[in-house]
Amino acid sequence: MRRGLFVTGTDTGVGKTLVSCSILSALRQRGRRLGVYKPAETGCPRDETGHLYGEDCRRLLTAANSGQSEASVASALYPIPAAPLVSAEAEGESLDPARLVADYEKLAGEYESVLVEGAGGLLVPIAEGFTFADLAEQLGLPVLVVVGSKLGCLNHALLTLSELERRGQPIAGYVLNSIEEEGLAPHATATNREMLGRFGSCSDLGNMPFVAASERDAFERLGQLAESALELDELPL
């Protein structure tokens, strides 16, 4: 199996980009040179010249700091915040899965390893009859599931892992990400990791601590947190 990682989540807003940037920064501090790829980003703002840019793409690029061009990070950027299929259709466009694979393959030929970050969850549609789960399979990459630790995440996490297992997709493991400083259900969040370990059969690769919004671009610090909180040596990167 090729070196690389496909990062998905149990939902949108669970911290996929935070965890991805933390991993990238930690490995960069170890001297690694990794490529980054986000097939499609939606809800993109415009710069002062009117051009769309991906906020997540820019954060991934900065965290990796590998000399990659911004244009190569994403195959498509859309202004409407929705699933890529929905956003593309709203613009009168469509995404060709073959193009996504080709764009990834180009990066895979330039970097020792590539971290690919999806949008939303595993079954979010990219094109007609084609989801991020299908893309991960076509790229031949093991999947890391980011679980936003909150009340209700156990169901989402176990369903996502179960679907990957049903498909026979290699699973790198899961990372629990603390998305609430003071959750509404503290006992639930305090026991989420234990419950996932008891009911899931995949590798527990760690628990990212809560990171305030004002600190999520402090990439050196994110890398240090990842070194202490995650099982980085278990990742196929």
Sequence ranges of the domains in the chain: 5-37+58-70+96-234
pLDDT at position 2 is: 63
Cα 207 from Cα 157, distance rounded (Å): 14
Q: Are strands 125-127 and 130-131 parallel, antiparallel or unpaired?
A: antiparallel
Span 52-80, pLDDT tens digits: 999 999 999 999 999 999 999 999 999 99
pLDDT at position 185 is: 76
pLDDT at position 215 is: 93
- The one catalytic residue in 16, 38, 106, 150 is 38
Q: What is the pTM of this model?
A: 0.95
Residue 106 appears among annotated catalytic residues: no
- Give the CATH number of domain 5-37+58-70+96-234; options: 3.40.50.10710, 3.40.50.300, 3.40.50.720, 3.65.10.10: 3.40.50.300
pLDDT at position 3 is: 83
Low-confidence ranges of the chain (pLDDT < 70): 1-2, 183
What are the tokens at 223?
A: 């890398």
pLDDT at position 181 is: 78
